[in-house]
Structure 1
Amino acid sequence: MAAAAGQNIAVVVHRAGDLRLETRPVPEPGPNEVLLRMHSVGICGSDVHYWQHGRIGDFVVKDPMVLGHEAAGTVVKVGSGVTHLKPGDRVAIEPGVPREMDEFCKTGRYNLSPTIFFCATPPDDGNLCRYYKHSASYCYKLPDNVTFEEGALIEPLSVGIHACKRAGVTLGSKVFVSGSGPIGLVNVIVAKMMGAAAVVVTDLSASRLQKAKEVGADFTIQVKNETPQEVASKVEGVLGCMPDITVECTGVQACIQAGIYATRSGGTLVLVGLGPEMVTVPIVNAAVREVDIRGIFRYCNTWPVAIALLASKRINIKPLVTHRFPLEKALEAFETTKRGEGVKVMLKCDPTDQSP
């Protein structure tokens, strides 16, 4: 490893509008940790938001922070106590690692642990860099037929798995997915995989709706300036009935309103997209129709499921990657994401291997 020392380039946000490529020392893995040579890291909307605004809600960038949390790489060194991984293993990284065994961990909902470490959420550094160390228990070995990029995409895919589970998608479900960005798209993929009979997607962008069709959406609706009630009736029109389940992936107030109006009485609305803290919604409409409103916070226990689905080729998430940049061109990659081009922008961190 000595040869690599000092060659650890990282993408670091210092404050709103200030994104830099920096050289950092190669970390040393502690007990139960592994050192990884990063390969593929996707750019998430949250990464762009920290760069543009320096904060998301209560999470504020106070010190320089390495971005990136959708990642896969190769083990190059293992700390003491690590038995399930060895140098050379290709792994996908789950970015949220509980720091203590609290009541949430005991009940299997470790994502809700208040002290959880999470890549690229202040003050925790992410993994958009050449070398990164992580808890070995949250690194999952990739089968030979699953690419690094698929491994990196397990992070957004996990949001879809967790949301569709919370929504109760099952055989024959009629599902309305609001928003056709990366998270909307993974929800389409997962809902279809879980047995949804029909999935309708709404978005402002025709190109994003075309991508939704590619990954399995049955119907798409391009919204322009309709009222929430009008959107709801369009959804009912194409499905032939009101959806049992709505997965709201935008966080936009009007879209949440449309989600409530659209969902069948007795159905479920899952809020995935995050917008402002205070939102005006027709809550009484939901209440008297027994529409259950559920939230999600990231995901838990999803990596083994996702790897099994990818290895068995039951789902295909490769079409989500539309742009690739070497790590050295990270600033250009972030600008591309900010402009809303394509779907998923992937950064290639290993100069010796730029393959998917």
Structure 2
Amino acid sequence: MSLVCHIHAGEDLRFSQVDPTDPGPNEVEVRLGAAGICGSDLHYYFHGKVGAFVIREPLTPGHEAAGIVTRVGSAVTRVVPGNKVAINPSHACGACAYCRAGRDNLCRNMRFLGSASVYPHVQGMFREHFLMHERQLTPVDTDISLGELAFAEPLSVALHGVRRAGELMGRTVLVTGGGTIGSLAVMAARLAGAAHVIVCDIADRPLEVALRAGAHQAIRTDRVAPQAVADLADICLEAAGSAAALETCLQAARRGGRIVQIGTLPAQGLHFPANSIMARELEYVGAFRFAGEFDWAVRYLAQRRLDVRPLLSAQLPLAQAAEAFRLAADKTRSTKVQLTAA
């Protein structure tokens, strides 16, 4: 039997025991090693929805995970039992115009693990065992821990945001939000050659973590006048998902600069100064999930090109998922909280 976590509605989390299913020809059974709790998982747990994506049937969340291969299907060639694997939660169709153009993160028929964006929902990885198509698995043979390897998905998001930012060599970059994505964006910007990386937040702990992640400078934006951040950066990465953070980006971007929206902003009540963008010739672009960056992320982690361990706050067993959700929501105590199979 295998333990599975389900969210039925806001703050209605339940467990079940299910019999493992035999893998099909191209499927692989994976035992959970570590799975991070993301902001979208928190929204599903506390509110029963993420934006327009509302839970309509019990949903198993979880889309950033790593594990150990336990069984493989008859046609599997990519992995063998015992392999340590990073898991790509994106299952693009591979046939639509966006997939054929190499932009599979925009796939018209995307099935993304742990998401209520489609119905029936795509069940995620907050479970002891699960089946994956072999193409979603990347084996790793270095000594990296499963907890570190589970950062491959959020690191991919940060790498995609930095890729959308364009040339960073020698540039000054501002990142709003010192949480997981913001801190990983700091690391990604430095990998891309940024000369000076500034992080902004409204709390001390995220700023301390971002500095440990490699930021050169930290600013408490709630304690400085708006003029203090004016014209600070060539590139601004919005990773906080707040209207106030976006406003900071719009103030901080230099004339001719670029703003990349990585965070998910509130659907209502957003004041957008379009005339300022026009008059200062700012470029405003979006960065949605990731595409080919997942393989880069796994490689960077496996080779220890960057160190995500300062971001890992706690690991709790799957049976304590409700406690883990509450801890993950408390940004005064945690950055990244993960669930484990035992």
Instruction: Give ranges in structure 1 of 5+ residues lacking alignment.
Output: 1-5, 352-356
Contact residue 165 and residue 260 of structure 2 kept, 8 A: yes
Cα deviation, residue 311, structure 1: 2.6
Give the partner amino acid of 2:235: I
Contact residue 256 and residue 281 of structure 1 kept, 8 A: no
> Which residue among 262, 265, 270 is the counterpart of 1:275?
265
SS at match of 1:40: strand
1:287 correspondence with 2:278? yes
The equivalences for 1:1-40 within 5 A come to 6=1, 8-40=2-34
Contact residue 149 and residue 302 of structure 2 kept, 8 A: no
Instruction: Name 2:135's counterpart in structure 1.
Output: 137
Contact residue 66 and residue 120 of structure 1 kept, 8 A: yes
Cα deviation, residue 89, structure 1: 0.9
> Which residue among 157, 161, 165 is the counterpart of 1:167?
165
Contact residue 176 and residue 235 of structure 1 kept, 8 A: no
The equivalences for 1:84-95 within 5 A come to 84-95=78-89
SS at match of 1:300: coil
Any idea what the Cα deviations from partners look like across 1:66-102, whole Å, max 9, x if unmatched?
1111100111111233211111111000101013511
Instruction: Name 1:319's counterpart in structure 2.
Output: 310
Paired residue total: 336
> Which residue among 309, 329, 345 is the counterpart of 2:337?
345
Contact residue 158 and residue 184 of structure 2 kept, 8 A: yes
Task: For 1:19 and 1:339, locate their aligned partners in 2 and report how far apart those are by CA, in whole Å.
Answer: 18
Any idea what the Cα deviations from partners look like across 1:83-136, whole Å, max 9, x if unmatched?
111111110001010135111111111111121111110111000110011121
1:99 correspondence with 2:93? yes
Task: Report % sequence identity.
Answer: 34
> Which residue among 114, 118, 122 is the counterpart of 1:124?
122
SS at match of 1:281: coil
Cα deviation, residue 268, structure 1: 0.8
Cα deviation, residue 32, structure 1: 2.0
Cα deviation, residue 248, structure 1: 0.5
Contact residue 169 and residue 245 of structure 1 kept, 8 A: no
Cα deviation, residue 184, structure 1: 0.6
Task: For 1:301 and 1:54, locate their aligned partners in 2 and report how far apart those are by CA, in whole Å.
Answer: 30
Q: TM-score, normalised by structure 2?
A: 0.94
Cα deviation, residue 330, structure 1: 1.5
Task: For 2:29 and 2:210, locate their aligned partners in 1 and report how far apart those are by CA, in whole Å.
Answer: 37
Give the partner amino acid of 1:44: C
> Which residue among 294, 298, 307 is the counterpart of 1:307?
298
Q: TM-score, normalised by structure 1?
A: 0.91
> Which residue among 267, 280, 296 is the counterpart of 2:287?
296
Instruction: Give ranges in structure 2 of 5+ residues lacking alignment.
Output: none
